[in-house]
Amino acid sequence: MQAASWPAGKKLVHLDLKGAPPRIPYLHRLLELFAQLGADGVLDVARSNGLEVIPLIQTFGHMEFVLKHRSLSGLREMDRCLGTLSPHGEEGPRLVMEMLRQVVELHPGLRTLHIGADEVYMLGDGEESKQWLSTPGHTVEQLFLGHVTRVAGAVKEAWPHLNVVMWDDMLRGMSGNSLKASGLVGLVQPMLWDYNPGLNVEETVSLLEKYGGAGLTDLWAASAFKGSTSVHSSVTPTQRHVDNHLQWLKVVQALPPGLRLLGIALTGWQRYDHMSVLCELMPVALPSLVACLRTLVRGHFGPEVRAEAAQSLGLASVEVDALERTSEADSLFLGRRLAMLIVELAQLLDSEEVRNFESNMFVRGWFSPYHRQRRAVNPLICMQIQSQADTLLNAVEERAAEAREEMVRLFPDSTAQEWMEQHVSPVTGPLRRISEEIGACLSETGPPQ
């Protein structure tokens, strides 16, 4: 089958600002780069460089940023579930509409609004929902649809010119007849997300056909260029994300006549949810973003396209772990030095020597908990262990300090602190503790009795 580029629909870059928001000067330069790379719009950030802005505001699930506050805990579906808004009562919709009003007023000329509505966990498990569901004929599907149609309808009433986009995952299990009768037709545009490099083309096309057949003919796709590998990743695997986009291109090629996508959002998640740890920072993900955009434009990722993507950032390779300590080329690769430092530090932190230091034969054999408790140690071997721990500790701390200094140029101090506590402290803590405990033992103990 001949390769086909992404059709005329828009290519949107998603910026997830619930973690590691770029400093304003860096953000401005990122927007310039996105425009140069061929993006048509941006999710979640102010307009610049002629890019269309589509704010994403969660209105049902993933509302931890609001519902985490004790004063608003009464609006949760269940007290222990911070992310799901209760679909009952008037206070929840009022809160949602106030959030949307503030965002819309901050975006003059806005044409499209994304209301989220994905992963509405534990919906139906709250006491009010259980009581509502006890009525024959009432279903969880209806609970979901009732809230979403209410919010989307209120948006269209307040701002008739706005297109309303929502995530599709809560709709996937619904029948075509349920979708036709849902009240969503003509009200929302589903955005089907799948970040898997092994995305199932046949199932995805079938799902899109179901939506189209139910009257939901204005559809979007969502891929990922970062933030979907694992919850705690620090380095972005470019090829994994390119593979995801190659699968989406196959979906486009397989679409039947009359069914089209309005565009694709290349998501770049910074956290899996508001309460989880940071995913990869933007600088280490830029090679992936460039590679994914070039893949969509050219319709494949052969050697020529791979070389184009690398050259557009002044790199020899788009695999970020192949970065070398070369001069900063900020006009091409924004944050190149930070990306390089993070890759180097991540490689050290994940090395066998560092990660499994407490499990090596010398620590387990001559400085076990038994030896530490009784201060019964072999001084010569323990001094060797201590020297090795100190050497590794110094290497990690030196690289971490260098990375932190660069990180605060592009991100808030709080981001640098969180990143270091997430990735570095769990490694340096045990090394420092072993070194200090050996020092204490050597100062207190004599030869074993």
Annotation marks residue 127 as catalytic: no
Q: What are the structure tokens assigned to 374, written together?
A: 């009784």
Instruction: Output the CA torsion 170→172→176→182 (10° steps).
Output: 10
Task: Tell me the sheet residues that pair with 382.
Answer: none
Residues 235, 342 contacting (CB under 8 angstroms): yes
Residues 288, 35 contacting (CB under 8 angstroms): no
From the candidates 32, 119, 402, 418, which is the catalytic residue? 119
**Whole-angstrom Cα distance, residue 396 to residue 346?**
10
**Whole-angstrom Cα distance, residue 449 to residue 447?**
6
3-state secondary structure of 428: helix
**Whole-angstrom Cα distance, residue 305 to residue 239?**
13
Q: Which residue has the tokens 């679409």?
A: 255
**Whole-angstrom Cα distance, residue 407 to residue 415?**
8
Please choose, from the candidates 271, 288, 320, the residue with its C-alpha nearest in 3D space to the C-alpha of residue 418: 271
**Whole-angstrom Cα distance, residue 193 to residue 120?**
15
Task: Tell me the sheet residues that pair with 24.
Answer: none
Q: Measure CA of the first residue to CA of the last residue in the chain; give whole Å.
A: 78
Q: What are the structure tokens assigned to 261, written together?
A: 């996508």
Please choose, from the candidates 176, 180, 78, 163, the residue with its C-alpha nearest in 3D space to the C-alpha of residue 122: 78
* 124 backbone φψ class: left, alpha, beta (φ>0; ψ -120 to 50): left
**Whole-angstrom Cα distance, residue 189 to residue 401?**
46
**Whole-angstrom Cα distance, residue 30 to residue 49?**
10
**Burial class of residue 242 in the structure, from the number of CB atoms within 10 Å of its CB (0-12 exposed, 13-18 middle, 19+ buried):** buried
**Whole-angstrom Cα distance, residue 342 to residue 376?**
40
3-state secondary structure of 9: coil
Catalytic site positions: 119
